[in-house]
Amino acid sequence: MKFVKYILTGILFGIIMTKSEAVSWYRIQEMFRFQSFHMYGIIGTAVLLGIIAVWLIKKFKAKDIAGKPITFHDKDKAYIKYILGGTIFGLGWALTGACPGPIFVNLGSGYAGMAIVILGALLGTYIYGVIKNKLPH
Amino acid sequence: MIDLIKQPWPWYFSGIMIVLIMLILLFFGKSFGFSSNLRTMCTIAGAGKKVKFFDFNWKDQVWNLMFLIGSVIGGFIATNYLSNPAPVKLSAATVADLNQLGVKFDGGLNPNSLFSLAALKDIKTLIILLVGGLLVGFGSRYAGGCTSGHAISGLSNLQLPSLVAVIGFFIGGLVMTYLIMPFIF
């Protein structure tokens, strides 16, 4: 039962992403061609409000459902992996029009081809795990 | 009311709701990051026996898999019960550019010429989807996160590494859009 709330949150996420067209291959193409404000509006609003929300959580030492203080983890201070990994991710994002979340949301919408993208993403994740120690981080 | 729901939702509402989802997960004591699920799925499939990176206690990530299952259900609900058949209001410039690329705008969220079951008969399409997925999976793990983990969670927490990753997302996206896609479509 304790997992129901995560399923419900996921359902909300899937609906929001679909209804705002953030899962659209076309919208991602439009974004990378700078031909509409739509995607920038979504990400910009989220980041701006997110910054305020995180600041408030820290300022008021907000607690989670279990009564523990909400904590944030700093990302490692290495930069090669972020720029190289990010660039590789971006290549795939533009090609498939989907980041990991939308790939699964779109599968639910009935786009069968997303199953192949998921297969590729799992394979890519596996390859990273195998050659991780040989890569510059 | 139902008509209002069935229309596409505006970007600002979406932005607000994405932050709400991040906050709900924080309130549950978790953090919003979708691509970790790909690693978890590899581990469940047994990858941890051979590769150390996948040797971790995946049971701590079951909540995230539940979120993933929810997101699939959410896509199903939104498309089948909460949508009208009106085409996506894509900008005319994008429609023209994609036309030139050989991808016809069919009005849906994603081109059926790439993502429908029938499109999978084409070996070139299969390769595009598989390689695209591979880049997404490899890149997000290498960068330690995807759009949710870096662009939303990371930037909200003013993490410089996340900004570097997001700059990478755009470098890759622009290279693919302008330099590579004209040769593969």
Answer whether residue B1 shows pLDDT above 80: no
Q: Are B119 and B112 in contact (CB under 8 A)?
A: yes
Q: Do A75 and B154 touch (CB under 8 A)?
A: yes
Q: Identify which of A7, A77, A100 has the shortest CB distance to residue B161.
A: A77
Q: Do A86 and B13 touch (CB under 8 A)?
A: no
Which pLDDT belongs to residue A22?
97
- Give residue A105's pLDDT band: very low, low, confident or very high (50, 70, 90): very high
Contact residues, chain B, for A19 at CB < 8 Å: 5, 8-9, 14, 78, 82-83
Mutate to test the interface with A, among B115, B122, B127 (most CBs of A within 10 A): B115
Sign of CA dihedral A118, A124, A129, A130: positive
pLDDT in tens, A22-79: 999 999 999 999 999 999 999 999 999 999 999 999 999 999 999 999 999 999 999 9
Q: Which residue has the tokens 């700093």?
A: A74
Q: Do A81 and B143 touch (CB under 8 A)?
A: yes
Contact residues, chain B, for A110 at CB < 8 Å: 76, 79
| pTM of the shown model | 0.96
Q: Are A19 and B9 in contact (CB under 8 A)?
A: yes
Residue B8 Cα distances to A49, B86, B109, angstroms? 22, 9, 11
Q: Are A135 and B141 in contact (CB under 8 A)?
A: no
Q: Do A14 and B74 touch (CB under 8 A)?
A: yes
Q: Are B68 and B34 in contact (CB under 8 A)?
A: yes
Task: Name every residue whose Cβ is closer than 8 Å to that of residue B2 and which is 6 or more positions away in sequence.
Answer: none
Q: Are A95 and B176 in contact (CB under 8 A)?
A: yes
Sign of CA dihedral B156, B159, B162, B166: positive
Burial annotation B85-114 (CB, 10 A radius, 16+ → b, else e): eeebebbeebbebbeeeebebeebbbbebb
- How far does A59 lie from chain B, in Å, by closest CA? 13
Which pLDDT belongs to residue B50?
93
Which pLDDT belongs to residue A38?
97
Q: Which residue has the tokens 């429908």?
A: B116
Q: Do B94 and A36 touch (CB under 8 A)?
A: yes
Q: What is the dihedral of CA B114, B119, B124, B128, to 10 degrees?
A: 30
- Give residue A6's pLDDT band: very low, low, confident or very high (50, 70, 90): very high
- How far does B43 lie from chain A, in Å, by closest CA? 9
Average pLDDT, rounded, for chain A: 97
> What are the structure tokens assigned to B127, written together?
């390769």
The letter for the amino acid at B173 is G
Q: Identify which of A19, A104, A113 has the shortest CB distance to residue B78.
A: A19
Q: Which residue has the tokens 């498939």?
A: A96
Average pLDDT, rounded, for chain B: 96
Q: Are A50 and B158 in contact (CB under 8 A)?
A: no
pLDDT in tens, B72-131: 999 999 999 999 989 999 999 999 999 999 999 999 999 999 999 999 999 999 999 999
Residue range B14-43: mean pLDDT, rounded: 96
